[in-house]
Amino acid sequence: MQPPFKLDCTSDVSGHGVDAVSSSATSCVHATRSLRALGLKPRTLHSLRRAGVRSVRGLCELSEHELLLIPGIGHGSIVAITAALGSCSLSLDQDGNEHI
């Protein structure tokens, strides 16, 4: 299932093109991108914001395990988040470092 949006992965919020992305799947170049741009459900957005996640980069720095520790985030939210990030060739943190 594709998210109901098209996230522009070629420019930052200032409208300028972004530098080349490293080949790492967890590289997140959208530091200032709002989570709202991912088209997630309001409940998921609210849960992420309550946990202090404010940007796409902040979201990319979390692992699935860390997300599941956030109240209101379940497996359905994880599926939606990974799909939204994947549509922009981004992903959650895979190394398991604890950031919370």
pLDDT tens string 66-84: 999 999 999 999 999 999 9
Does a structural domain hold residue 69?
yes
CA distances from 44 to 37, 39, 48, 68, 72 (A): 13, 10, 6, 12, 7
Q: Which residues pair with 34 in a beta bridge?
A: 55
Greater model confidence, 56 or 5: 56
Q: Is residue 21 situated within a structural domain?
A: no
CA distance 38 to 5: 7
Q: Quick check: is 53 in a domain?
A: yes
Instruction: Quote the domain boundaries for residue 66.
Output: 44-86
What local confidence, expressed as pLDDT, does residue 32 receive?
53
> What is the reported pLDDT for 5?
40
Of 13 and 44, which is predicted with more confidence? 44
Task: Look at residue 16 and tell me if it is in a domain.
Answer: no
What total of structural domains would you count in the chain? 1
Q: Is residue 68 part of a domain?
A: yes
Question: How high is the pLDDT of residue 48?
Answer: 97
**Alpha helix positions (H), 27-97:** 42-50, 56-60, 64-68, 75-86
* Model confidence pTM above 0.85: no
| Residue 98 pLDDT class (50, 70, 90 cuts) | low
pLDDT tens profile 17-70? 333 333 333 334 454 578 888 899 999 999 999 999 999 999 999 999 999 999
- Length of the chain in terms of residues written: 100
- Looking at residue 75, what is its pLDDT? 96
Look at residue 14 and tell me if it is in a domain.
no
